[in-house]
Amino acid sequence: MNKSPILLGSLISKISPNLIRYASSASASGSSQRKVAVLGAGGGIGQPLSLLLKLSPLISDLSLYDIQHTKGVGADLSHIETRTKVRAYVGKSELSDALKGMDLVVIPAGVPRKPGMTRDDLFNTNATIVADLVSACAKNCPRAIIAIIANPVNSTVVIASEIMKAHNVYDEKKVVGVTTLDVVRAATFIAEAKGLDPAKVNIPVIGGHSGNTIIPLLSQTSPPVSFSQQELESLTTRIQNAGTEVVEAKAGAGSATLSMAHAGARFSFAVLEALSGKEGVVECGYIASRETEFSYFATPLLFGRNGVERSMGVGKLSDFEKKLIEKAKKELNGNIQSGLTFAKQYLEKSK
């Protein structure tokens, strides 16, 4: 028996209020379905992310890849009564098959943070993982949009771009770092502080995806709200350190997985809707930048049929926000340079 769009939409809405619009609009518009791969599907983010993607009528084929556990995850998800077909692949020998024909590749693969670790501590391990996976993307699905979740995003997106360039298939519209979790957290924390419905709060978060490179534009919150200087400082600090808040609360058992899975699904659905022709789709993301003094920078992005159509820029900034950008310069530029250096060394070893 086929599930109606209303029932499927209701199911997704119970999981996350902000995802309902993707399910209902996709069903109503009859938009074409797409093929999506999750690289790292057996992990703490990959499993719940794959579940959310399996529920979406935007996706016809869901390809799951990891170095272990993937067959079990695939079998489990395949029992869910939606039309999305699930295929599971395990190990490097099956990576090429996992990627062929994909429209969107989401990469949550990597090791999680533990208490006391910064995103930079993860760099060498996760940088190599991302470089290997993106190399496979360049060979097997060079036209796919690549959404990078693996931390440190400020560097891994740079690495992914350099790998694609080395294979002569780079398209700056199609390599994006997923910073949606910062937007989700900002909306949640502001709603809590101001007594608003978090599903109706929208706030752009620019810069990067770690520490003080995360710059919430509180002056551009919708619906408009006012903040005291103390509120500006405390909310900004909490948004910037929210990942550490989760790591410490889990006490060594992992990092932000469930909220990141939600954010990754929200970002994926936005991209897929835009690929299918919906206009005016905007989500924040970290990309190669032409609009700022940084070579990579997160801004609100307008998505279209070919990926990122354009950056929406940073808008009018308050003096407080200008200071935040100035404070972020050293760290963000350092992260970008680390990505460039690693990519150069990786490519030299690969020759």
Which are the catalytic amino acids?
A: 209
Contact 265, 108 (CB under 8 A): no
Q: Does 42 carry a binding-site annotation?
A: yes
Does 304 appear as a known binding residue?
no
Determine if residue 87 is labeled as part of a ligand binding site.
no
d(CA 110, CA 128): 9
- Helix, strand, coil percentages for the chain (3-state, nearest 5): 50, 15, 30
C-alpha triplet 259, 260, 263: angle, nearest 5°: 90
Q: Classify residue 94 as exposed, middle or buried by CB count within 10 Å of its CB (0-12, 13-18, 19+).
A: middle
User: Annotation-wise, does 107 bind a ligand?
Assistant: no
CA distances to 93, 103, 267, 285, 295 from 164, in Å: 21, 16, 21, 18, 16
* Peptide bond between residue 223 and the one before it cis (omega within 30 degrees of 0): yes
The structure tokens listed for 277 are 């022709």
Ligand-binding site membership of 260 (annotated) = yes
Q: Is 313 annotated as a binding residue?
A: no
Among candidates 53, 70, 71, which has minimal Cα distance to 62?
53
Looking at 167-310, list the stretches that DSSP marks H as alpha helix, in order from N- to C-terminal side: 180-194, 229-240, 242-250, 258-275
Which tokens hold the place of 99?
A: 């990627």
Does residue 185 have a known ligand-binding role?
A: yes
Give residue for tokens 């086929």: 2
Instruction: Check whether 102 is labelled as a binding-site residue.
Output: no
What does the alpha-carbon distance between residue 123 and residue 339 come to, in Å, rounded to a whole number? 9
Is 44 one of the annotated binding-site residues?
yes
Q: Which helix (H) or strand (E) holds 90?
A: strand 85-90
Residue 41 assigned as binding residue: yes
Residue positions forming the annotated binding site for substrate: 113, 119, 151, 185
Annotated binding-site residues for NAD(+) read: 40-46, 66, 126, 149-151, 260
Residue positions forming the annotated binding site: 40-46, 66, 113, 119, 126, 149-151, 185, 260
